[in-house]
């Protein structure tokens, strides 16, 4: 395919872990440049709750294998996934997982329900409580304050996000934290009807 300039792929932790370092290096040598990996949360309890099917250690190891093979790594997490009950643990543990992987790209989305998923039913039954926009901002601030991932391009600019954040860690961390603090004082979050998947 001569017009093809770049090849990237989504990679589940399980699928990455089935590969040997040699397998991944071969894929990279054949043109696979980057893998997109879903962390969702760095907290073990949150991952079990959403039935992720792998442990935090599995995800971190898979991410490290991708980087060791010479490929770029893009990792996503989901704000609000711990609900009001576990927002602090979710924020801090997710920061720790990112810090261990040091992805080339970090993407932060915000929890929204699509279809009749178990978490939506829990929310409707009062067993799980969604974060408000200011609560998501506080969670994101706590995560950024605990992350150490030098050189990672950080983006929180998905349609689901209440605030748009862009920067490169660790250089722009304080500027992004200040942007969040300003929002916590003055508001300016995206309206619900503008959020979409």
Pairing, β 153-156 against β 165-168 = antiparallel
Length of the chain: 197
Alpha-carbon distance 50 to 121, whole Å? 12
The tens place of each residue's pLDDT in the chain, 197 residues long, gives 788 878 999 999 999 999 999 999 999 999 999 999 999 999 999 999 999 999 999 999 999 999 999 999 999 999 999 999 999 999 999 999 999 999 999 999 999 998 899 999 999 999 999 999 999 999 999 999 999 999 999 999 999 999 999 999 999 999 999 999 999 999 999 998 888 76
**CA 197-141-186 angle, 5° bins:** 85
C-alpha torsion angle, residues 37, 105, 179, 88 (rounded to 10) = 30
Question: Where along the chain do its domains lie?
Answer: 7-186
Which one, of 153, 147, 161, 145, lies nearest residue 195 by Cα? 161
Alpha-carbon distance 62 to 80, whole Å? 24
Residue 163: CB atoms within 10 Å: 22
The predicted pLDDT at position 196 comes to: 75
Please tell me the CATH code under which domain 7-186 is placed.
3.20.20.70
Helices (H), ranges, the chain: 13-17, 21-29, 44-49, 56-68, 87-101, 118-124, 133-146, 173-186
Alpha-carbon distance 196 to 103, whole Å? 26
Residue 174's alpha-carbon distances to 36, 45, 145, 178, in angstroms, are: 26, 29, 8, 6
Assign residue 65 a region (left: φ > 0; alpha: ψ between -120 and 50; beta: otherwise): alpha
């Amino acid at each position: 395919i001569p017009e093809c300039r770049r090849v990237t792929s989504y990679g589940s932790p399980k699928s990455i872990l089935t590969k040997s370092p040699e397998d991944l290096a071969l894929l990279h040598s054949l043109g696979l440049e980057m893998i997109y990996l879903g962390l969702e949360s760095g907290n073990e309890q949150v991952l079990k709750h959403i039935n992720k099917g792998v442990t935090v250690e599995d995800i971190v190891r898979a991410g490290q294998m991708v980087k060791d093979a010479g490929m770029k790594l893009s990792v996503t997490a989901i704000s609000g996934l711990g609900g009001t009950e576990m927002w602090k643990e979710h924020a801090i543990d997710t920061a720790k997982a990112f810090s261990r992987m040091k992805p080339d790209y970090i993407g932060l989305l915000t929890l929204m329900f699509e279809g009749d998923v178990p978490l939506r039913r829990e929310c409707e039954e009062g067993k799980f409580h969604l974060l408000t926009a200011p609560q998501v901002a506080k969670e994101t601030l706590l995560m950024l304050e605990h992350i150490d991932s030098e050189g990672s391009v950080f983006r929180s600019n998905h349609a689901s996000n209440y605030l748009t954040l862009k920067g490169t860690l660790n250089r722009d961390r304080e500027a992004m934290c200040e942007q969040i603090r300003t929002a916590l004082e003055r508001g300016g979050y995206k309206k619900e009807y503008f959020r979409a998947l």
